[in-house]
Structure 1
Amino acid sequence: MPPVVQQPGAPQQTLFQKLSMGAAMGTGVGLCIGFIGGAFQILRAGPGPRGTLATLGQFMGTSAATFGFFMSIGTVIRTDSSHALEARAYTAASRPMLLRPEVRAHLRRREEE
């Protein structure tokens, strides 16, 4: 599915929408990882006294909760930035690099060789 094109002036996602999207993605990943890890553990050491489904469900539940929690926080941190900060970082990155005269001379000599 192609990414959604943002129209100029379109409303941004709210903090809660970003948080819930990260939690949903993390929960899905956690369920898959929990299933793989739980199935491997059951095959390796046996299901234990609670039974196969309860053990597998516990693995999947704890993994989903952990991944969902950290992914929701990570998504909010990663996407939480203002346009002013991005513009300032862009202009700082596009400025010419200031070099000491001896370094500039050394680089010129290297280019001529």
Structure 2
Amino acid sequence: MESTNAKAYAKIVENGTLAVQEIQNLQTTGYITDHIYVLAHDSDKTERIAHASEAKEVGIKEEGVFDSIANLFRSRGDELRAKMVSLGFTEAEADFYEKQLDLGKVLVIAKKDQP
């Protein structure tokens, strides 16, 4: 599934290999590497894909200090949904995507160039 809202593009892919390919496609179509993010339910998987593709992980810069600290006390699902909301997705969209991540899929997000 693909989604484009006013703030970001998102695509669910089946695995890390396809996530890296999608990230490379986004880079060749003009998205800036610093605006491409990857999320997986397993934080180690997220880190490996981000490293292999030069994509970003959602961090303090995107979430803000409060949400980053709050994530220390959240379940992984709640943490993932908070990260997605911080990138401009609605609660409903974040819930849908998090359920896909529960199934082992990977979410690739690309934010539009910020003014």
State TM-score, norm by structure 1.
Answer: 0.22
Higher normalized helix content (fraction of residues)? 1
Higher strand share: 2
TM-score, normalised relative to structure 2:
0.22
Highest RCO, 1 vs 2 (Cα 8 Å, sep ≥ 6)? 2
Point out the structure with max Rg over C-alpha: 1
